[in-house]
Amino acid sequence: MFYRTRLLSLLSLILLTLAVFVLLRDLQFSEQVDRQILLQLRLPLVLCAMMVGASLATSSALLQVMLRNPLADPGIIGISSGASLFAAIYLLIGGSLSAVLLEYGLPLFSFIGALLSTLLIYVLARRLSLVSGSGVILAGIAISTLSGGIIAWLYFFSDAQSLRNLTFWLLGSLHQASLQLVLLALLPVCLALGVVIIQGRALNWLYMGQRSAQLAGLDIVRFYPRMLLVSAFLVGVAVSLAGSIAFVGLLVPHLLRNVFGFDNRFILPASALLGAILMLLVILVSDLFGGVAVPVSMLTATLGGPVFLYSVIKLAAR
């Protein structure tokens, strides 16, 4: 337990150092310009990256155990597509709305999309008695395909400007959220992360299935809807802040479990920290491309794909 506390402290320290580095890099410390850059560009960027990384990684760690499927990532099981679909609809329909409505309505719509798709996936998988097996993935693929189809129709009917906005947004970008929006999301996201992180013991019971957890003292009837709601909220916020970002959720808990074992009292907080670290690293890597804003999903999928493939091969070799 002591060594895990030290590991969490080390991860926190790395996160803090990275955050300060990303915030202050290349600044000339000439007051006026730097202040503007720091407050209007860097601070929202760093906070947004940390929130998105922590939200996606933690909600994935939660969903993987709750749905008893190590592949349950919000992207793979269709929660992100649901959120993206609703966000895309809002982006296209709300194109004529004022900037304020667009900025604050988008997170709300993504959250509703994430929530509806989570509930739909759960109900479908449960109705088909497939919750413990591949049912969640199958239901997720169905939802993703359906969402993808509808988004394609939206592309078809949108004008050139909306098309560009939508494409860029769907590929994911950490640069699109304003400081106000990020600050607005900060407290609820921290609270939601806190709610998930304290469920480590209950999630440990769920490794052996719902009935075992119930026998060990978990009130399944209350736990599942609550936690699904919280994870949908986290994914909804992440999608609304940065678009659809692949692989972070799948990769982080997977790596942690491979190296440090399965105890969720450690995996959940460590996922939040490592997810945030990973997204800050993505910012640094995207800096290598000069002034070009590289879509986040492009980077996370390129970096995460091979690492995940390695994990799968290692797992199969056992």
Partner 1 sequence: MLRIEGLSLPQRIKQVSLDVVPGDAIHLLGPNGSGKSSLLNLIAGLITAQQGTIWLEGRNLYHYSTAELATCRCLMEQTHRSVFALTVEESLSFFCDTRPLPDELEQALDITQFLHRPLNELSGGEQRRVQIARCLMQIWPAIDDGKALILLDEPVQGLDFSHQHRLCILLNELVRKGNMLIMSHHQLNLAERYANRIWLMHEGKLTADDVPNAVLTEARLSEVFACNVRIVADTEQNRLIQTYL
Give yes or no for residue 165 binding partner 1 (CB under 8 A).
no
Q: Which of 24, 41, 97, 208 binds partner 1 (CB under 8 A)?
A: 208
* Cα–Cα dist 81/148, whole Å: 7
Q: Which of 60, 63, 68, 154 binds partner 1 (CB under 8 A)?
A: 68
Give yes or no for residue 69 binding partner 1 (CB under 8 A).
yes
Q: Give the list of residues 6+ apart from residue 223 with CB closer than 8 angstroms, or none.
A: 199, 202
- Sign of the Cα torsion 103, 38, 234, 243 reads positive
Q: Which of 104, 207, 289, 310 binds partner 1 (CB under 8 A)?
A: 207
* Cα–Cα dist 30/227, whole Å: 47
Give yes or no for residue 254 binding partner 1 (CB under 8 A).
no
Q: Which of 21, 104, 153, 262 binds partner 1 (CB under 8 A)?
A: 262
Contact call for residues 292 and 285 (beta carbons, < 8 A): no
Select from 107, 38, 8, 42 the least CA-distant residue to 283. Answer: 42
Please identify, using beta-carbon distances, which residue of 217 and 291 lies nearer to partner 1. 217
Give yes or no for residue 162 binding partner 1 (CB under 8 A).
no
Show the tokens assigned to 122.
């759960």
Give yes or no for residue 310 binding partner 1 (CB under 8 A).
no
The CB-of-47 to partner 1 minimum distance in angstroms stands at 33
Please identify, using beta-carbon distances, which residue of 53 and 249 lies nearer to partner 1. 249
User: What is the separation of C-alpha 247 from the centre of its chain, rounded to a whole number of angstroms?
Assistant: 9
Give yes or no for residue 260 binding partner 1 (CB under 8 A).
no
Q: Which of 5, 132, 145, 178 binds partner 1 (CB under 8 A)?
A: 132
Give yes or no for residue 199 binding partner 1 (CB under 8 A).
no
Select from 239, 102, 104 the least CA-distant residue to 180. Answer: 104
The CB-of-56 to partner 1 minimum distance in angstroms stands at 20
Select from 161, 143, 163 the least CA-distant residue to 153. Answer: 163
The CB-of-205 to partner 1 minimum distance in angstroms stands at 6
Give yes or no for residue 306 binding partner 1 (CB under 8 A).
no
The CB-of-68 to partner 1 minimum distance in angstroms stands at 5
The CB-of-129 to partner 1 minimum distance in angstroms stands at 15
Select from 3, 241, 196 the least CA-distant residue to 106. Answer: 241
Q: Which of 214, 281, 303, 311 binds partner 1 (CB under 8 A)?
A: 214
Helices (H), the chain: 2-24, 31-36, 43-66, 79-93, 99-127, 135-157, 160-171, 179-197, 200-206, 210-215, 220-242, 248-260, 264-287, 296-317
Q: Which residues bind partner 1 (CB under 8 A)?
A: 65, 68-70, 132, 201, 204-205, 207-209, 211-212, 214-219, 257, 261-263, 315, 318
